[in-house]
Amino acid sequence: MGDFAQGFQMVANISTLLWCAFGTVLGIILGALPGLTATMGIALVIPISYSISNTATGIGLLISVYCGAVCGASIPAILLGIPGNPNAIATVTDGQLMTKKGLAGQALGGAVIASMIGGLGSEILLVFFSPLIAKATLAFGPAEKTTLALVGLVIIASVSGKDILKGLLMGALGFVFAFLGTDPISGACRMPFANALKKTVLAGGFDMTSTLIGLYGVSQVFAELANLSKPQNTDVATNIGKVFPPFKKVLSMWQIILASLGIGTIIGAIPGTGASIAVFMAHDSASKICDASNGKLDKPGTGCLEGVFAPEVANNAVTGGALIPALSLGIPGDSATAVLIGALMINGVTPGFQLFSTNMPLVYSIFITLFIANVFMGVFQLAGIRLYPKVLLISQRILMPIVLILSFIGSYALAGASIPKGVFNVGTALFMGLVGYSMKKNGYPLAPVVLGFILGGMFEENFRKAVKLGAGTMERFVTSPICWVFTLLAVVIVVSSVLKNRKEAKANNA
C-alpha cells in the first residue's frame, strides 16, 4: 500500500490534472480530425512531456492524448461517415444510420459512455491481470495469429448480406489491395510493373487509413450527389434527441459490453494486431449475442445503439490492452504504444518486468493517470456533445464539398512530412472512393473489402512465417492447441451463418 500512496503522491497535484486535461482535449481534437491519429498525437507531445520535470505527469499527458484520440474518432464517424482513423471503422455503419434516423445525439453520447466503459474496464483488467494476460499473449506466434486472422475473415460470411458470392468476391478484392506493395517476408516489391515502380511512393502499397477514408468518406460524397437535387430536408437533424442512452438499455447490453471488453483487451494485448480487427470482431459478436437474445436487443447493422456500443467499448479497451505487454513485458501492443514506450525511454523509464519490481510507485502513478485520462475523456467529450450535431444543420449541398476536402486532407496528413506520399494517399482515397461508389451502386457490400484488406495481409504474412518456422511443414499448426480452438471456432461461425441464411431464405419463400 505504501507504493500506492507514493504513486498517488506523484500525480496528486494540480499540474498533473491540468496536463491530463490538456492532453485529453488535444486527443479528442486529433481523433475528430480525419487523418490525425493517436500515434501522431503522442509523437507530437513527446517534446512537451520531455520538458515536464515530473516523469509521472509527462506520462500522464501522453496517455491522455492516446485515450482522447481513440474516443474522439467516433465523432466524424457518426456525424459525417468518415472514419477518422481505423479505430472507428466499425462505428461508421450504425452511427451513420442512427444519424439519419435523427438519433445523432444518442449515438454520440452512447459512444462516449461506451468508450469510458471500455477504457476503465480494460484498465481494471490491466491492473489486476496484467502478468497473466501478458503471458497468455506470448503464446500467440505466427501460427496462432494465422488462425486468429481466419476467425476474423469468416466474419465476411456474416456481413455479406444476401449474396454470399458478392461478399466473398469483395473479401478477395480486399486481399488483393493488401497484397499490392511490399512482400511481407522477403521485402521485395510485389505489384505489376514492380521494376519501374520500386523507387516510387507506390512501392509502399495502399495506406490503410486512406483506403478506409476513401471507401467510406469519399464514396459517400459521390453517392450523395444524386440526392442533392432533391429539396434539402434538415428536419431530422434539428432534433438532436436525448444524449444519454437510457440506463436500462445500457444494462440490457451487459453481454455485449463484456464480450467487447474482452475482445478489445485481448486483441489489443497481442502485438501486431490492432484496434481495426478488434472492432469488427466486437461488432460481429454483438450481432451473435442479439440473435440469441430473442429480440430483446436490436441487431447491429440496422442503426442501433448496440452497433455503436460494441466497437466503441472494444476500441477503448484496446488502449488498456495494448498497455499490458508494453508495461509488463516491454513489448508494444500497437503503434501508439510503441511511441509511448519510446517516450518512456526518453523520459528515463525502461518498461518491462523490472519496472514492476523496482519502480512500483511509478506503475501506480501510470494507472492513476490512465484512470484520470479515461474520466476526463468522457467528461470533456460529453461537454461538447450538444454542439457537434449542429454540423448536421448545414445543408448537404454545403457539407459535401467540406466532407470531400476533409477526406482528402485527412489522407494527405497521414503521410506527415512526405509530400509525394501525401499526394499518393489522396489519390488512394479518391480511387477507393470510386471503387466504393461503384460497389454501392451495384449492390456489393463494403465491409468484406475492409476485412479482407485489414486481415489479408496479416493472414498471409503469419501463415508464411509459421510454415517457414516449421521448415516448410504445417507442424506449427498441428501442435498448437490455440490453433485447433480457433480453427474450430471459424468452422462453427461459417456453419451457423450458412444455416441461418438457409432458414431466412426458407422463411422468405414460404
Residues 123-182 that bind other proteins (CB under 8 A): 137-143, 165-166, 168-169, 172-173, 175-176, 179, 181-182
228 contributes a contact to other proteins by CB under 8 A: yes
Comparing CB distances to other proteins, the nearer of 297 and 466 is 466
Cell of 309: 456500443
Q: Binding segment for other proteins among 11-19, 89-97, 202-210, 237-245 (CB under 8 A)?
A: 202-210
Composition of the chain by helix, strand, coil, percent to 5? 75, 0, 25
379 contributes a contact to other proteins by CB under 8 A: no
- Which residues, 347 to 376, sit near other proteins by CB under 8 A? 350, 352-354
471 contributes a contact to other proteins by CB under 8 A: yes
Helical packing angle, 419-441 and 447-469, nearest 10° = 120
Comparing CB distances to other proteins, the nearer of 468 and 503 is 468
Comparing CB distances to other proteins, the nearer of 271 and 300 is 271
Centroid of chain to Cα 121:
17
Q: Is 164 helix (H, G, I), strand (E, B) or coil?
A: helix
* Per-residue interface string for the shown chain with other proteins, residues 397-426, x marking contact by CB under 8 A: xx-xxx-xx--xx--xx-xxxxxxxxx--x
- Which residues, 93 to 122, sit near other proteins by CB under 8 A? none
- Count the site residues for other proteins by CB under 8 A: 116
- Which residues, 252 to 281, sit near other proteins by CB under 8 A? 271-272
Q: Is 190 helix (H, G, I), strand (E, B) or coil?
A: strand
331 contributes a contact to other proteins by CB under 8 A: yes
Cell of 215: 471507401
> Measured from the CB of residue 87, what is the shortest distance to other proteins in angstroms?
17
On the 0-12 / 13-18 / 19+ scale of CB atoms within 10 A, 30 is buried
Comparing CB distances to other proteins, the nearer of 97 and 413 is 413
With CB under 8 A as the contact rule, the residue among 100, 101, 299, 464 that binds other proteins is: 464
Whether the CB-CB separation of 58 and 13 falls below 8 Å is answered with no
Phi, psi (rounded to 5 degrees) for 451 = -60, -45
Q: Binding segment for other proteins among 243-251, 304-312, 316-324, 454-462 (CB under 8 A)?
A: 454-462
Alpha helices in 80-163 (DSSP H): 91-100, 104-138, 142-153, 155-159
Cα 47 to Cα 41, 61, 230, distances in angstroms: 11, 11, 51
DSSP 54-75: -HHHHHHHHHHHHHHHHHHTHH
387 contributes a contact to other proteins by CB under 8 A: no
338 contributes a contact to other proteins by CB under 8 A: yes
Phi, psi (rounded to 5 degrees) for 479 = -85, -10
Q: Binding segment for other proteins among 236-244, 281-289, 362-370, 461-469 (CB under 8 A)?
A: 461-469
With CB under 8 A as the contact rule, the residue among 472, 481, 506, 510 that binds other proteins is: 472
Comparing CB distances to other proteins, the nearer of 255 and 347 is 347
Three state DSSP letters for 151-163: HHHCHHHHHCCCC
- In this structure, what DSSP letter does residue 446 have? S
Query: 378: part of which helix (H) or strand (E)?
Result: helix 360-383
Comparing CB distances to other proteins, the nearer of 33 and 237 is 33
Whether the CB-CB separation of 344 and 59 falls below 8 Å is answered with yes
> Measured from the CB of residue 506, what is the shortest distance to other proteins in angstroms?
23
Cell of 6: 507514493
251 contributes a contact to other proteins by CB under 8 A: no
Comparing CB distances to other proteins, the nearer of 317 and 406 is 406
With CB under 8 A as the contact rule, the residue among 84, 300, 320, 325 that binds other proteins is: 325
234 contributes a contact to other proteins by CB under 8 A: no
Comparing CB distances to other proteins, the nearer of 7 and 41 is 41
Q: Binding segment for other proteins among 31-39, 62-70, 94-102, 489-497 (CB under 8 A)?
A: 31-39
N-to-C CA span, the chain? 67
The number of residues making up the chain comes to 510
Centroid of chain to Cα 353:
28
- Which residues, 40 to 69, sit near other proteins by CB under 8 A? 40, 43-44, 46-47, 50
User: Which residue carries 434539428 as its cell?
Assistant: 238
- Which residues, 434 to 453, sit near other proteins by CB under 8 A? 434, 438, 441-442
With CB under 8 A as the contact rule, the residue among 11, 21, 30, 126 that binds other proteins is: 30
391 contributes a contact to other proteins by CB under 8 A: no
User: Which residue carries 489479408 as its cell?
Assistant: 456
Q: 10 Å Cβ neighbour count for 56?
A: 24
199 contributes a contact to other proteins by CB under 8 A: yes
User: Which residue carries 480511387 as its cell?
Assistant: 431
